Amino acid sequence: MFKTNALRALDANKIEYEFFVYDDAGEFHSADEAAALLGAPVDQVYKTLVVLNDDAGARKKPMLVMIPAAREIELRVLAKSVGAKKLRMATKKEAERLTGAQIGGISALAQLNKGFEMLLDETARELEWLHVSGGARGLDVKLRVQDLLRVTHAKFTRATADRADAAPSRQEASYPRKNG
C-alpha cells in the first residue's frame, strides 16, 4: 500500500488511525457515497472544501473547511463565524491547483504547513471519531477528532446551519465550474 502525505503526517505524529480503501480505481464519489461504501454513519464522514476570502483588502489565506458529508456549507454562516465579509467556494480548478490534489482526495492532513487556515465544523464537537480523506480519491482515514485538531491545528467553527437557520440562497457544497 502506498503512503499519502496525509498518512505520513499521521505516522510522524504517532496518531492512531485506521485507513480504508473503498475504491481501488479512485473514482470520485460524493462524501455520501463514500459513507455508504465505508459502512460508516454519514454524520461521521467529513468532506474537505476549499473556501476563499474575497474581502477587498483582507488577508487572502485560503481555508480548508471540514464539514459533515450530509450537510452543505453555509458561506454566510461561515463568514460570520470567521469575521469575514465575503467568502466563496473555490472552483474545481482553483481547489485542485491550490491543494495539488484532485477533488475527492483533498485532505487537510496532506496540506500541513501549506498556508491554509484549517477549520472544522462545530458539529464534530459531538463526536469522538470521524472519517476524513486520506489524501487520495478512494482513501479514507478514521481518527479521533482531538487528534485531527492537534495535527492540523484546525479550529472549531460554525460552517453549516440547521435547516431552520439556513439562508434562502444556499451555497452547494460542490465546486462550481468557472465559465470560459
1: helix, strand or coil: coil
> Could you list the pLDDT tens digit for every one of the 180 residues in the chain?
579 999 999 999 999 999 998 876 666 667 677 788 888 998 999 999 999 998 766 567 899 999 998 899 999 999 999 999 889 999 999 999 999 999 889 999 999 999 999 999 999 999 999 999 999 988 899 999 999 999 999 999 999 987 544 444 444 445 555 544
Q: How many domains does the chain have?
A: 1
**What is the β-pairing status of strands 87-89 and 46-53?**
antiparallel
Domain of residue 40, residue span: 5-161
Q: Do the domain assignments include residue 173? A: no
Amino acid at the residue 157: T
Q: What CATH number does residue 12 fall under? A: 3.90.960.10
Q: pLDDT at position 27, please?
A: 67
